[in-house]
Amino acid sequence: MTPQEDFTHDAMQYAPQLFSTAMRMTRNRNNAEDLVQETFIKAWRSFATYQQGTNLRAWLFRIMTNTYINKYNAQQRKPTETELDDVEELFLYKRLGAVDQSQLSQSAEDQMLSMFTDDEVKNALEELPDQFRIPVLMSDVEGFSYKEIAEILEIPLGTVMSRLHRGRKSMQKMLYEYAKKRGLINEALLPQGDDE
């Protein structure tokens, strides 16, 4: 295979991952498809500058993230850290006891997690403001390291960590609210106060 064919073959392998992330970014199938297409067109144009041995996957996600931020004027680099409410540590874990057992078929400890539907998890992610959503997507869904995420987003490592932390807690709170709406939570079962 020529280097071009190699490159195409390797890049195409990442298409489903890029598409899923594009779906969470744009929240719309047509826009997500356009975003991945644009990413591949840009990647192909930059092929001459692509160094063999570079992490192709991270490179493609970086192109896509930049394209998304520029195209949708995402608030990625603006320091709007107040955009998310501060959520208590271990938010969801501390509320496990409030799951109404009678509403669930499972009895395992992990019921709080298995009870969430795909759509609820996707929605919770998509509800996060961009600057929190993209780090959570890159870490939890795509498995990139903090350093790779810092490079993809061009933000400091410490910022990656704090946004991940806040984004994850905020997702937990949203999922809890979804469960409440579905009648799966009985708050009377929660321990009262923080004096324990």
d(CA 153, CA 156) in angstroms, rounded, equals 9
d(CA 108, CA 114) in angstroms, rounded, equals 10
b/e for 155-179, b at 16 or more Cβ within 10 A? beeebbeebbebbbbbbbbbbbebb
182 binds other proteins (CB under 8 A): no
Of 69 and 144, nearer to other proteins (C-beta) is 144
164 binds other proteins (CB under 8 A): yes
How near is the Cβ of 154 to other proteins at its closest, in Å? 19
Q: Give me the 42-71 binding string for other proteins, x by CB under 8 A, dash otherwise.
A: --x---------------------------
How near is the Cβ of 119 to other proteins at its closest, in Å? 8
b/e for 30-60, b at 16 or more Cβ within 10 A? ebbeebbebbbeebeeeeeeeeeeeebbbbb
How near is the Cβ of 139 to other proteins at its closest, in Å? 6
Closest CA to 88 of 156, 17, 173: 173
37 binds other proteins (CB under 8 A): yes
How near is the Cβ of 79 to other proteins at its closest, in Å? 22
Site for other proteins in 99-158 (CB under 8 A): 109-110, 112-114, 116-118, 121-122, 125, 136-137, 139-141, 143, 145-146
